[in-house]
């Protein structure tokens, strides 16, 4: 009998423990406990109140109509300097990278062989001129004699031919003298244009040879003024031609897109054909570049200003939000943030030009909080002003109007007053 009572006692103990566990589980999963936990979490996170936002009214102002492009700086005139006379280079009269002026002496070639050739040609000319003078005198004396038949016609013809032959020789020697003098002038190599010099390919003491073969002595690029090549999509060609020559048409050059303008230029060239491979038309802008801010071969951001739109509707960049269906803004209406779809025409710096979607009298939310959702209750905490800027200033909270959600502080105060009462 003892084993039976032992088994009975064990079963009763197990059944009581199971009942106790079931009772506790039912109590913990009751609706009141679940509601209490949810209310506690909700109270901790505090997401039930309105969102404090700042608003701005869209502004109408003059804004430029722009074409953005990537420009390549190129020299308006580039010259590869080569020797025109052969000889030993005796002097280099500038430093690499110097800015040189047109006519400035750059190189000096040993002039002694060239000077000797000039002296030789000069002597030959003097000799032949003396012989020509004698031949002409002889021809003059024989002319009077042949007229009186004192000599034959043949003797006179020989003297006249000799004078003409010497005259031709003198002319040939004079040409040789001019050539020798020109070669002597080539011993000094001068700058053909004003510009910035590049690296030197030779040094003093090297033998240079006249001709176009081999590397040039130096390359000079003109930098004042300078050109900027601008390939733009062909769809802008009609607008560019329409505003060509107008006062507003200009080109603004910056180091990178969105950066400050370094210099301004004017369009001076439109290519006569569209590139069929890229679908672009090549433009060129001329920049004075007096301080040499631009350098040949440099890539820059360029903006072609076609005209000024006088009554554009403008919002700060921070007010426009991206969306899957396009950009939108939050507009405060009856105490809630309403989503309004817009169409952006262009962006100029931190200003966005609105093409469609707004009338200009809306209260648009700027610096949108991450907790703001469509139709969320909001409290306007300050006005960003009727104009540009991102509206980052702080404003004092305004008193809630009738029909709008109360401020979070007022909710807390009213709750505490009730608890005290």
User: Tell me, what's the pLDDT at 140?
Assistant: 86
Q: Is domain 66-76+221-310 in CATH 2.40.30.170, yes or no? A: yes
> Which two structure tokens, joined as six digits, stand for 3?
């084993």
Q: Domain-by-domain residue ranges, the chain? A: 51-63+311-398, 66-76+221-310, 82-109+187-220, 111-186
Tokens of 134: 């004698």
Q: Under CATH, to which class is 51-63+311-398 assigned?
A: mainly beta
How is domain 82-109+187-220 classified at the CATH fold level? OB fold (Dihydrolipoamide Acetyltransferase, E2P) (2.40.50)
pLDDT at 419: 40
Tell me the CB-side half-sphere exposure of residue 199, using CA atoms within 13 A. Answer: 2
Give me the mean pLDDT over the 183-188 stretch. 95
The two domains 66-76+221-310 and 82-109+187-220 share their CATH topology (first three levels equal)? no
pLDDT tens-digit map of 364-391: 999 899 889 999 999 998 555 444 444 3
Query: What's the rounded Cα separation, in Å, for the pair 123 and 177?
Result: 9
Q: Is the pLDDT reported for residue 301 higher than 80? A: yes
pLDDT for residue 211: 84
Q: Which fold has domain 111-186?
A: Helix Hairpins (1.10.287)
Give residue 156's pLDDT band: very low, low, confident or very high (50, 70, 90): confident
* Alpha-carbon span 402 to 399, nearest angstrom: 10
Split at pLDDT 50, 70, 90, the class of 147 is confident
Q: What is d(CA 2, CA 380) in angstroms, rounded to the nearest whole number?
A: 82
């Amino acid at each position: 009998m003892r084993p039976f009572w032992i088994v009975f006692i064990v079963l009763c103990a197990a059944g009581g423990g199971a009942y106790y566990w079931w009772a506790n589980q039912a109590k913990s999963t009751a609706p009141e406990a679940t509601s209490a936990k949810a209310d506690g979490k909700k109270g901790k996170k505090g997401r039930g109140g309105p969102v404090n936002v700042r608003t701005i009214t869209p502004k109408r102002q003059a804004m430029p109509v722009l074409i953005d492009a990537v420009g390549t700086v190129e020299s308006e005139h580039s010259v590869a300097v080569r020797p025109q006379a052969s000889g030993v280079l005796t002097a280099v009269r500038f430093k690499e990278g110097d800015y040189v002026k047109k006519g400035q002496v750059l190189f000096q070639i040993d002039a002694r062989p060239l000077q000797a050739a000039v002296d030789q040609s000069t002597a030959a000319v003097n000799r032949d001129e003396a012989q020509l003078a004698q031949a002409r005198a002889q021809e003059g004396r024989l002319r009077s004699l042949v007229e009186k038949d004192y000599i034959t016609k043949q003797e006179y013809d020989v003297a006249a031919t000799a004078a003409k032959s010497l005259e031709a020789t003198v002319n040939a020697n004079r040409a040789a003298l001019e050539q020798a003098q020109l070669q002597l002038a080539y011993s000094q190599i001068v700058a053909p244009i004003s510009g910035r010099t590049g690296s030197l390919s030779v040094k003093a003491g090297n033998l240079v040879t006249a001709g176009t073969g081999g590397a040039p002595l130096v390359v000079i690029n003109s930098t004042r003024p300078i050109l900027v090549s601008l390939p733009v999509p062909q769809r802008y060609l009609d607008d560019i031609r329409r505003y060509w020559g107008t006062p507003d048409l200009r080109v603004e050059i910056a180091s990178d897109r969105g950066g400050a303008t370094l210099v301004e230029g004017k369009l001076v060239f439109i290519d006569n054909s569209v590139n069929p491979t890229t679908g672009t038309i090549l433009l060129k802008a001329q920049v004075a570049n007096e301080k040499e801010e631009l350098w040949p071969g440099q890539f820059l951001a360029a903006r072609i200003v076609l005209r000024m739109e006088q009554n554009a509707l403008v919002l700060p960049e921070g007010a426009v939000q991206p969306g899957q269906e396009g950009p939108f803004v939050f507009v405060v209406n009856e105490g809630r943030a309403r989503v309004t779809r817009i169409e952006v025409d262009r962006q100029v710096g931190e200003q966005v030009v609105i093409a469609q979607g707004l009338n200009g009298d809306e209260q648009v939310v700027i610096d949108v909080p991450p907790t703001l959702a469509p139709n969320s209750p909001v409290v306007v905490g300050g006005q960003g002003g009727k104009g540009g800027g991102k509206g980052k200033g702080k404003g004092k909270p305004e008193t809630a109007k009738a029909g709008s959600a109360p401020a979070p502080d007022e909710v807390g105060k009213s709750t505490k007053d009730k608890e005290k009462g």
